[in-house]
Structure 1
């Protein structure tokens, strides 16, 4: 009888231990990252960069459809508003745009996951939701890469983090998913956010900004497994070190710093929404695939996107955000 009891106890221990290990394995950061797939990105982008969005020019009906699409996604996936309730919009008055959006108001979209241990510290992941609209003949500039790619990538990341929350593995620090308007006409949405922050800028650990990550620079045709990083060590060497370590451990893209110079003649460091965070002494990484033949043309369409590469780049950014959100100490400014 005692022998039976010991054997039964041992089997129960092994079964429970196996279950625990399986649960732990299923709850790893890489497993959550792998919920970001080329298929799900494609499905979203064909809607978001479709003709019905009318090129998403700031303040237009097409841009309003775009923010509704983003908001509805977050509501459906249980990702909370940064304001509480059903309001995901940070309203921006028409006057703020200095007459550059047909004197119409616009809005940023803010979704939020509260940190489990350090909720006052915040990682901001951003992408711009607008594009350049239509021409005088009504032809649509879809903006699939610019910045439909960054928009749907961020939505997928938010869903992956929310899956972690459901499993009891939510991030230690809070994460703000910030979709900004008015980028194409002067970085207005991100400027408005930093001037009217929903969370104190002093508590913002880093900004990971995603603007065009779905295509291949013609100069990289022979080695497409890359991503340009801009600004990653300008305010915090530790941020670049974390980025490098995550990439080496999980993804193994070529991280190219070709444009990582304030004096670069292209001035990319100054040309996307991360710059408004950097101006406020917040460490940034700007993720970018470089310009291509369809940049700001009607031919920047969803069929041109490299979806497997988009998924791989999105996973890198997700895993970098995961590390920044869960490490013991926040990264330090230099």
Structure 2
């Protein structure tokens, strides 16, 4: 009788524990969905209409318009009480003009903010986008760069706000999440190179992955008849586990059609080498590059915020937020192959 009673108690305890764990998983799923909902097309649009306005003069590296851009980003983080990992109130990683090898109009800066990890603060997931663009044409027309890369910039801001909301309610990420706005991308990936090679705020050995966003607000010609897509580049180059996590998150929550055309090793466009994730990949850090492909307004004054597909921008931003959430909260960091 004693043995039976003991077995019954153990059965109840195991069942209760199993139920609790399942509930915890459901709560975690519910949490990420709830916080992702704070990323809205209305807020993305409001921020982008400012960031890609004529006031920012095309955000050429080192120029006055780019200075306005970094101040806009900093103000956003200050207003949302999202701190800098550099020093209290100091969001700028300053890069001297000489570093740009004659391609910049002056000194420039990366901008960064972060949410400190609750359990593994020394490990970091980086979400990056470039803050610069190509400035003004010889004819005086402003290249607003709404898609390239205003879309990535405002996506970072919205994700940072979502992670901050979670942290304020006691649901902060286990690992730190760094929101890295890099300069000088258009003239040679200089800002990300400076972060990686000269002054990584978090040691590269502690960097779990880089999720890089460069143009996610438009539709290319290939997908005019099915706009529910996104190009992913690099997800399986260094970590099959990262690729599988990315796929699983998408399949569970979004069902976006991932297009891996530009991920092929023989891709003639060589996009894998053409955005800021590459400086991380060169140092054996797993990456994903999110991209909507080029369009007729690419690198032209006609890349304006009125042409952005804000429903798509919202969905794609939420996808990346979910992926970052998963990477930041897993028990083990993703493995490099």
Note whether the superposition's TM-score is higher than 0.5: yes
Q: 1:25 to 1:124 in 2, by over 3 A?
A: closer
Which residues in structure 2 correspond to 1:182-193 (within 5 Å)? Answer: 182-193=184-195
Residues 170-217 of structure 1: CA deviation (Å, up to 9, x unaligned):
000001100000000000000000011011000000000000000001
Q: Distance in 2 between matches of 1:138 and 1:106?
A: 22
Could you tell me which of 158, 161, 185 is aligned with 1:159? 161
Residues 108-136 of structure 1: CA deviation (Å, up to 9, x unaligned):
00101110001111000000000000012
Q: Distance in 2 between matches of 1:42 and 1:298?
A: 19
**What's the Cα RMSD here?**
1.4
Structure 1 position 27, deviation (Å): 6.7
Q: Distance in 1 between matches of 2:118 and 2:91?
A: 21
Tell me, yes or no, if structure 1 residue 98 matches structure 2 residue 122: no
Q: Distance in 2 between matches of 1:202 and 1:332?
A: 12
Could you tell me which of 133, 140, 143 is aligned with 1:141? 143
Q: Is the 8 Å Cα contact of residues 261 and 269 (structure 1) preserved in structure 2?
A: no
Q: Which position in structure 1 is the counterpart of 2:237?
A: 234
Superposed structure 1 runs of 4+ greater than 2 Å apart: 24-27
- What's the secondary structure of 1:147's corresponding residue? helix
Which residues in structure 2 correspond to 1:181-260 (within 5 Å)? Answer: 181-195=183-197, 196-260=199-263
Structure 1 position 271, deviation (Å): 0.3
Q: Which position in structure 2 is the counterpart of 1:262?
A: 265
Q: Is the 8 Å Cα contact of residues 214 and 305 (structure 1) preserved in structure 2?
A: yes
Structure 1 position 84, deviation (Å): 2.4
- What's the secondary structure of 2:215's corresponding residue? coil
Could you tell me which of 322, 326, 333 is aligned with 2:325? 322
Q: Distance in 2 between matches of 1:26 and 1:241?
A: 18
Q: Distance in 2 between matches of 1:93 and 1:25?
A: 44
Tell me, yes or no, if structure 1 residue 35 matches structure 2 residue 32: no
Structure 1 position 26, deviation (Å): 11
Q: 1:277 to 1:219 in 2, by over 3 A?
A: same
Q: Which position in structure 2 is the counterpart of 1:173?
A: 175
Could you tell me which of 292, 297, 300 is aligned with 2:295? 292
Structure 1 position 139, deviation (Å): 1.1
Q: Distance in 1 between matches of 2:239 and 2:314?
A: 27
Q: Which position in structure 1 is the counterpart of 2:17?
A: none
Q: Distance in 1 between matches of 2:264 and 2:98?
A: 33
Q: Which position in structure 2 is the counterpart of 1:111?
A: 113
Residues 131-172 of structure 1: CA deviation (Å, up to 9, x unaligned):
000012321000000000000001000000000000000000
- State how many pairs are aligned: 312
Q: Which position in structure 2 is the counterpart of 1:54?
A: 57
TM-score, normalisation: structure 2 = 0.91
Tell me, yes or no, if structure 1 residue 87 matches structure 2 residue 78: no
TM-score, normalisation: structure 1 = 0.92
Q: Distance in 2 between matches of 1:179 and 1:285?
A: 16
Q: Which position in structure 2 is the counterpart of 1:10?
A: none
